[in-house]
Amino acid sequence: MEQKDFLLREIEKIGLVLRAILNRMKGSGEKLALTIENQFIAEKELLYTETGLSLDQLIALNGSETAQYISTFYGLNVQNIEMLADILKESGMQIPTVDSKKLLSKSLELYTLCSLLDKTFSFERENKISEIKNVIY
């Protein structure tokens, strides 16, 4: 029982942090590249501080390594992985740098992982995958 409570708290904690980051990124009306990049750096630090998840390390991993890395975090259920993919997608779409393709590719990888792990089909997720593929390819 105590283990289940711990897992639920971790899922909720990571979900709150990811939701706060995503809301801050989407809520900004100012679209200056420097501001967005600085914001993304701050959000990466917040995510690492609150959860221990390093976006830099995650982005550097390949497909199977990504799934392995994600599985080491108790609070990353399908919904939280999808929110993390949303954060990377938003960043990749807004930051006009060489890294934007890396962010979008990792986002695509995480959405695909969600599709494999989730027992239900998501039209919204499939639309996000299509949107990323249109930008990357």
> pLDDT tens digits for 85-111?
999 998 888 877 768 899 999 999 999
- pLDDT confidence tier of residue 2, bands split at 50, 70 and 90: low
136: helix, coil or strand? helix
9: helix, coil or strand? helix
- pLDDT confidence tier of residue 32, bands split at 50, 70 and 90: very low
Q: Mean pLDDT over residues 53-82, rounded?
A: 91
Look at residue 80 in the predicted model and tell me its pLDDT: 92
Burial of 52 (C-beta count, 10 Å sphere; 0-12/13-18/19+): exposed
Cβ 77 vs Cβ 11: under 8 Å: yes
pTM: 0.82
Look at residue 127 in the predicted model and tell me its pLDDT: 95
- In 28-122, alpha helices (H): 33-51, 55-60, 63-71, 78-94, 99-117
Among candidate residues 40, 65, 36, 67, the one with its CA nearest the CA of residue 55: 40
pLDDT higher for 11 or 78?
A: 78
Look at residue 98 in the predicted model and tell me its pLDDT: 62
Q: List the single range of 11-15, 22-26, 61-65, 127-131 with lowest mean pLDDT.
A: 22-26
pLDDT higher for 18 or 123?
A: 123
pLDDT higher for 51 or 99?
A: 51
Compute the distance between CA of residue 114 and CA of residue 116 in angstroms, rounded to an integer: 5
